[in-house]
Chain A
Amino acid sequence: GIQVEQSPPDLILQEGANSTLRCNFSDSVNNLQWFHQNPWGQLINLFYIPSGTKQNGRLSATTVATERYSLLYISSSQTTDSGVYFCAAALRYSGGGADGLTFGKGTHLIIQP
């Protein structure tokens, strides 16, 4: 199956700093998603981004499918950005399909005030 690796595993930043989280995947994908798990365990879908660039407020994501990586950018970090960020990818997956996403192990981000 597909392998998904995230880096760095841990990241500690001061409030206001910018950060870049990386996700590498081992094969061609047609589904790539980013999630944020808050300290209470809730997983929030940030982006569906199998290719290209998307932005949502202070967050943006870029996937270069041909080079098998995706990046999540967080600008002007806030303490509420703390938590674990997961990347997940699938090779054959669609809303009508049945293959599940393979998750990376996540990046644990701590934003200090």
Chain B
Amino acid sequence: SQTIHQWPATLVQPVGSPLSLECTVEGTSNPNLYWYRQAAGRGLQLLFYSVGIGQISSEVPQNLSASRPQDRQFILSSKKLLLSDSGFYLCAWVDRGSEKLFFGSGTQLSVL
């Protein structure tokens, strides 16, 4: 069966420090992968999506970047974090058979 792993679960970083969040999917090949952010409150905002290795599309301009170095690996990065980057970051993938979107367990990022 397919599973998605995301780490770390929580992260506290100072302003100006770099960021690297990693997500991997198991049990499937060539998945569509997504990074979402959920600010305090509720709404989920799509940040990046990828349909294949090295193919990244950005939905909103921001201080973050994404990379897909391997088929089932998706990385969210920043060179210098801002206070406004705080939030709950979620990696997700689409199961092409069911068309359903499945989420990882998320990373709570606090930038202080």
Contact = CB atoms under 8 A, between A and B. Distances in A.
Interface residues of B, number: 27
Interface residues of A, number: 26
A77 interface: no
Contact of A86 (B44, B51, B57, B108): B44
B105 A101 contact: no
A85 to B, nearest CB: 10
Contacts of B42: 84, 86, 105-106, 108
Contacts of B45: 103
Given A45-B100, A48-B100, A95 B105 contact: no
A7 to B, nearest CB: 13
Contacts, number: 61
B32 A98 contact: yes
A106 B41 CA distance: 10
B43 A106 contact: yes
A96 interface: yes
A113 interface: no
Contacts of A93: 99
Interface string A82-98: 00101010000111111
Nearest to A9: B42
Interface of A: 31, 33, 35, 41-45, 48, 84, 86, 88, 93-98, 100-106, 108
